[in-house]
Amino acid sequence: MTEQLLIWIPVLPLIAAAVVGLFGNRLPRSAAHLLTIAGVGAAFVLSTIVFKATLAGFTHNADLYTWLVSGDIRFSVGFLIDNLTAMMMVVVTFVSLMVHIYTIGYMHEDPGYSRFFSYISLFTFAMLMLVMSNNFMQLFFGWEAVGLVSYLLIGFWYTRPTAIYANLKAFLVNRVGDFGFLLGIGLVLAYTGSLDYAEVFNAAPALADTQINLFSNTAWSLMTVTCILLFVGAMGKSAQVPLHVWLPDSMEGPTPISALIHAATMVTAGIFMVARMSPLFEMSTTALSFVMTIGAITALFMGLLGIIQNDIKRVVAYSTLSQLGYMTVALGASAYSVAIFHLMTHAFFKALLFLGAGSVIMGMHHDQDIRNMGNLKKYFPVTWITSLIGSLALIGTPFFAGFYSKDSIIEAVKFSHIPGSGFAYFAVMAGVFITAFYSFRLYFLVFHGKEKWREAKPHAHHDHDHGHHHGLAPDQDPHEPGWVVKLPLILLAIPSVIIGYIAIEPMLFGDFFNGVITVNAEAHPSMEHLTHHFHELLHTPAGMALHGFLTLPFALALAGVVLSWFFYMKRPDIPAAIQQRFSLINRILENKYGFDSFNERFFAGGSRLIGDKLWQIADVKMIDGAIVNGTAKLIGTLSGVVRQVQSGMLYHYAFAMIIGAFLLLNKNFLISIKTLFITFLSKIF
């Protein structure tokens, strides 16, 4: 395996993005997708070759070049290739390739066709640089680059106010997380003197008991503070409470980017980062407890919001938030391999669900309201079957990919004993029922029941993708898009079924992550218990799946499916009555627990208020008023006085010179005048 081959993996999508972005208007329209698909397709093939090599024992950790030297600190660009990196490279390039192919159909009428392909290819480059990095500097570069491209893609339709608001929101919220991330990197650099992963991890054990003073004389564990700050970055990128508010609004971008960025790859960057930093996180149980608690809150409460959503993309978006919470809970339980395993399986079935939603949106003439759909299985056979597969994988149905990863998370949390694990276990168990309920609510309303677009439409709907009213007329039949859309759905459906069965043993209970992920089994024995549970009770992936039919999570998932079928297929009056009866709870959910309004009023409004006051006082009154205008006024006043002296008469100047010379030569006279004046004032006062 040569270093040149590794370089080409991120460079090929970059070249394609640059060519299409710079010369897209001069090239044929088809060149945009041909060049970018060729670049990403080649990156996928090369990533597969690298992955096979890593399975055979290949590893690589070397700097390509030194970008900057400051004192004893080197800022380098390099690659770390191991099983974790190679798996991420395959996932990123495969999902990206599917999205590129899908985009040909979805964006074929859009005037920004070439620009969109350039952006998604550039995103692929940024994500590859992030996962392939061997140092914190390059990690941060990839981290910010995916944030930049997501900003461009969320606001792709830049003439729409909602898109402008959404991309600005994503940008600002992520900057909050990234500030914490940068502080964490700063602590790493300050105490280890290096940004290289290997050097930092080797230096970390000696710093395990180091204390630092943050406020007055209060001592804090260096590792705890560092890990929490690093995780704050993950909270922004992986949309954890309270930095989750940007992700639902990011659905304002075209549907393909919802699958690429906000379901499959970018939002999992935080999960990947924490797993890569496992040697640091294992030194702080406090940090792990914090991670687990945040993940549990996200998994539970974001799932509840999925129940009330009527926009087909937003239902899937809140599902993503909830599943990211599951991954974060696994990280907190020191089950890093389980979190990465769920990251991989989730990438396939969540991309499938988003692209399936996009197929429905196209067929419905860009109507996204699920209340205007129904019985679409008749018109969308491929989308129907693939969406059903994605939904079954999402809710953790035995033998499907999501079952193996999701059930492993639940078991890992069950075996964990760190503070917060009890609440986390409740949250992930409740999340099973909630996920099944809102997922199949979506499925039943879209693919079964009455063809509601043929009825008078009580719900106003608009096109979230093109900015004006759309939808089918009552006498129109929807049509499933062509094979350029259906092929990615089929190719994503295959791993959504089989990848969990294939990968669970090597990734969780084998040596796949040996030397990559560090776990302190003595302090955090969850994975040890999970491995023992699998080998002693379940034995095989098939045994695990068969046993899964007898477990509480399966019963909860089944209950969620049955209840959603009963509510929305048989008795739709019951959900309406519940909504009316519990209007307060419904209002809280519709307001998203007040996070958006709080942020808008407190942070955004407070920032604007401070800015206004600083402008009015500091700028207008002090700088412009006192300094600039005040100086001008003072000079003008002095000039007016001096101007009276400058009469232009020669005898006036001669007289002034005589008086001046007299006063200078007669100091005693001046002293006498001064004394006389002081005496006079003392007599008066």
Structure tokens at 6: 């590794």
- Residue 199 has φ and ψ, to the nearest 5°, of -65, -40
What pairing do the DSSP bridges indicate for beta strands 211-215 and 73-81?
A: unpaired
580-621: pLDDT as tens digits:
888 888 888 888 888 877 777 776 677 778 888 888 888 888
DSSP strand E in 268-401: where? none
Q: Rounded distance, CA 213 to CA 226, Å?
A: 13
Q: Rounded distance, CA 375 to CA 354, Å?
A: 19
pLDDT band at 669 (very low <50, low <70, confident <90, very high): low
Residue 556 has pLDDT above 90, yes or no: yes
Q: Largest alpha-carbon pair distance within the chain?
A: 118
Most confident of 99-113, 377-391, 534-548, 583-597: 377-391
DSSP per-residue letters across 72-111: TEEEEEEEEESHHHHHHHHHHHHHHHHHHHHHHHHTTT-T
Site of tokens 């969990």: 500
94-124: pLDDT as tens digits:
999 999 999 998 888 888 889 999 999 999 9
Residue 2 has pLDDT above 80, yes or no: no
Indicate the residue type of 256: P
pLDDT value at residue 244: 86
Average pLDDT of 198-223? 86
Mention every residue, 6+ apart, whose C-beta is less than 8 A from residue 84.
272, 275, 276, 340, 513, 516, 517
Give the other-Cβ count within 10 Å of 572's Cβ: 14
Residue 684 has pLDDT above 80, yes or no: no
pLDDT band at 464 (very low <50, low <70, confident <90, very high): very low
- Of the candidates 320, 173, 259, the one whose C-alpha atom is nearest the C-alpha of residue 491 is 259
Q: How many CA atoms lie within 13 A of 537 on its CB side?
A: 12
Long-range contacts of 215-224 (CB under 8 A, 24+ apart): 221/284, 221/286, 222/187, 222/191, 223/280, 223/283, 223/284, 223/287, 224/284, 224/286, 224/287
Residue 505 has pLDDT above 80, yes or no: yes
Residue 451 has pLDDT above 90, yes or no: no
pLDDT value at residue 496: 93
Q: Is 582 helix (H, G, I), strand (E, B) or coil?
A: coil
258-294: pLDDT as tens digits:
888 776 677 888 999 999 999 999 999 999 999 999 9
pLDDT value at residue 255: 85
pLDDT band at 467 (very low <50, low <70, confident <90, very high): very low
pLDDT value at residue 465: 46
Average pLDDT of 304-309? 90
Q: Rounded distance, CA 519 to CA 281, Å?
A: 9
Name the average pLDDT for the chain. Answer: 87
pLDDT band at 338 (very low <50, low <70, confident <90, very high): very high
Average pLDDT of 488-493? 93
pLDDT band at 333 (very low <50, low <70, confident <90, very high): very high
pLDDT value at residue 405: 93
pLDDT value at residue 457: 58
Beta carbons of 44 and 142 less than 8 angstroms apart: no
161-195: pLDDT as tens digits:
888 888 888 888 888 889 999 999 999 999 998 89
- Give buried/exposed letters for 643-682 (b at 16+ CB in 10 A, else e): eeeeeeeeeeeeeeeeeeeeeeeeeeeeeeeeeeeeeeee
Average pLDDT of 36-50? 94
Residue 127 has pLDDT above 50, yes or no: yes
pLDDT band at 668 (very low <50, low <70, confident <90, very high): low
Q: Rounded distance, CA 671 to CA 668, Å?
A: 5
Q: Rounded distance, CA 509 to CA 24, Å?
A: 48
pLDDT value at residue 463: 44
Question: pTM for this structure?
Answer: 0.86
pLDDT value at residue 138: 92
pLDDT value at residue 468: 43
Q: What percent of the chain has a predicted confidence (pLDDT) above 70?
A: 94
130-165: pLDDT as tens digits:
999 999 999 999 999 988 888 888 888 888 888 888
Residue 19 has pLDDT above 50, yes or no: yes
Indicate the residue type of 478: P
Q: Where are the alpha helices (DSSP H) in 109-160?
A: 113-132, 136-154
Strand partners of residue 70: 73
